[in-house]
Amino acid sequence: MKNKLLLLITLLFISSVFLNSQTPDNPKAKFTIVMHAGAGTISRDMPDSIKKEYITALTEALNVGKNILDKGGTSLDAVEKVIRFLEDDPKFNAGKGAVFTSEGTHELDASIMNGFDLSCGAVAGVKHVKNPITLARAVMEKSHHVFFIGEGAEKFAKQMNIELVDEKYFFDQKRYDQWQKMKQNAEKNKKGTVGCVCLDKHGNIVAGTSTGGMTNKLPGRVGDSPIIGAGNYANNKTCGVSATGAGELFIRNTVAFNISAMMEYKNMSLKDAVYEMIHNRLKPGDGGVIAVDHQGNYIMDYNSEGMFRGVANSDGIFEIKIWE
C-alpha cells in the first residue's frame, strides 16, 4: 500500500513539473513567430515610399502576433490575428486586397492547422467572407469537417455569425489595374499569399495561410493555400509550415507536409528539409515557405526574387525583410 501511495505521489509530482514547464509562468518558456506576405517578382527598384509602407504594415502585423505570444497567449490566436491584419490590408493578396479572377470577381481561400492534434480547417472559393482565416478556424473548431467550399462555406459562416460583406468590399484599384494589364499581357503574374506560423509558450505549433489566389485565374481555381499538406501544415512532433508561390507546384510536390515528413522519417533538420523542397524539388521562381520547428528554430526561405517576411521570438529577435 505504501509503495502504491509513493508511486502515485511520484507520478503527480512528475505531471506537475511537466505541466508547469508548458505554461507561460515558466521563465524558460519561449515563443517564435514567422510570417510572410507573398513571394515572387518583387522589384528592388520599388520606390522608398512604397517600401516604407510595406515595412510599416509588416511590422504592425508581426507585433500583433508577438504581443499575444509574449503575454502567454496561444499560437492559434496569434496566427489568426496576424492573418486577419494582413487580410484587412489591401497591399496584400488576401481579404481586402484579393486579386481578380478572369471574370472580374474575387474568390478567397484560407486554412489553419493545429500541431497539437493535427486538427485543421479550410475554406475555398468564398466571395463574401471578410476574413477567411477566421472561417477556417471555425471549420476546425466548430464542425466535424475539414474543408468547406463556395456556397456551403458561406452558409456555415452565417451559422457561425462570421462577418460577410458585399463583393465590392474586396475591390482595390491597384489590383484592378494589375488585372487589366495582365489581360493585355503587359505584366507577369504576381504571387502574393499571406501566412503565419507560431510556436507558443505552451509548446504548441499552429500554421495558417490565406490568399486571393492568382491574378486572372479561372473561376473555381484553387491553389495550395487551403490545402493541408501543400500550402499549410503543422505537427508538434516536427514543425509548422506556410507556403507562398505557384500553387499548382506546391500541390504537386506536397511541399508543406514533405518538410515535416523529412524531419520525422529521415531525421532531417528544419533547415535541411526546407532547402530540399525549395531548392531541389521546386524550380527558381516558384516561391518560398516560412517554418518553425518544435524547438523554436525558424526558416524563411525562397527561390524567387523576394519574399515579404518577418520573424520575432522570445530571445529578442525582430526582423522584417523583403530581399536577402
In one-letter notation, the amino acid at residue 165 is: V
The candidate with the shortest Cα–Cα distance to 224, out of 198, 201, 265, 255, is 255
Residue corresponding to grid cell 467550399? 149
| Helix ranges, 160-252 (H) | 173-183, 247-252
Tell me the CA distances in angstroms from 148 to 29, 145, 251, 258, one per residue in order.
Answer: 36, 8, 18, 24
Q: Which of 134, 193, 209, 238 is catalytic?
A: 193
Q: Are 147 and 123 in contact, with CB atoms under 8 Å apart?
A: yes
Helix (H, G, I), strand (E, B) or coil at 207: strand
Q: Are 238 and 293 in contact, with CB atoms under 8 Å apart?
A: yes
Q: Are 22 and 29 in contact, with CB atoms under 8 Å apart?
A: yes
Q: Report the phi/psi class of residue 114: left, alpha or beta, with left for phi > 0 and alpha for psi in -120 to 50.
A: beta
Distance of alpha carbon 217 from alpha carbon 303, whole angstroms: 23
- Tell me the three cell numbers of residue 58: 509588416
The candidate with the shortest Cα–Cα distance to 216, out of 172, 166, 178, 167, is 178
- For 221, list phi and psi in degrees, rounded to 5: -70, 135
Tally of CB atoms within 10 A around 141: 13
Q: Are 312 and 66 in contact, with CB atoms under 8 Å apart?
A: yes
Is 193 labeled as catalytic in the residue annotation? yes
Tell me the CA distances in angstroms from 64 to 67, 69, 78, 180, 283, one per residue in order.
Answer: 6, 9, 7, 34, 33
Distance of alpha carbon 201 from alpha carbon 30, whole angstroms: 5
Which positions are catalytic?
Answer: 193
